[in-house]
Amino acid sequence: MGLSIEGKPDQATAIDVIHQALDAGCRHLDTAWSYYESGGPEQTNERLVRQALDSWKGPRQDVLVATKVGHYRNFLDLQRQLKDLEDKIAYARQFYNDVVQKFNTRIETVPSNIIASLFHFRQAQYFQADEGSRQAPVVDFGQ
């Protein structure tokens, strides 16, 4: 039963459903970080199972919780994560280059240029990525 995807019950009802299943003898709960409502927080179902087990009065040591890793709900989730990663890398590159620009300006500006020359500070190089590294990787589900 989908307890954390589209059309899901509220949290209290979902926990009650898990408690009823456990009380009826169910001892295997299957979950994954990818079970969540589109646009909602990830790992919703795993947190829900944890909350249900924390509040259940039965023998928790008898319950087997299965989860999956590296599983994407769909191509759009994977694509979003790749784009987010590329954005973070681009931000880090820009941050580095901003620092280099400030440093280079500082060692050429009076009076800090005097100290810079005494300690042999030299112009720092800007980060320049290879042209191919700016493109998102190609993902092929074709096997």
pLDDT reported for residue 78: 73
pLDDT reported for residue 130: 78
Cα–Cα distance for residue pair 101/59, rounded to 1 Å: 62
Contact 5, 37 (CB under 8 A): yes
Instruction: Say yes or no to pLDDT of 65 above 60.
Output: yes
Which residues does 96 contact at the CB level (< 8 Å), separation at least 6? 127
Going by pLDDT thresholds of 50, 70 and 90, the confidence category of residue 23 is: very high
53 versus 6: the higher-pLDDT residue is 53
87 versus 118: the higher-pLDDT residue is 118
Cα–Cα distance for residue pair 42/32, rounded to 1 Å: 9
Looking at residue 45, its amino acid is N
Contact 64, 85 (CB under 8 A): no
Looking at residue 109, its amino acid is T
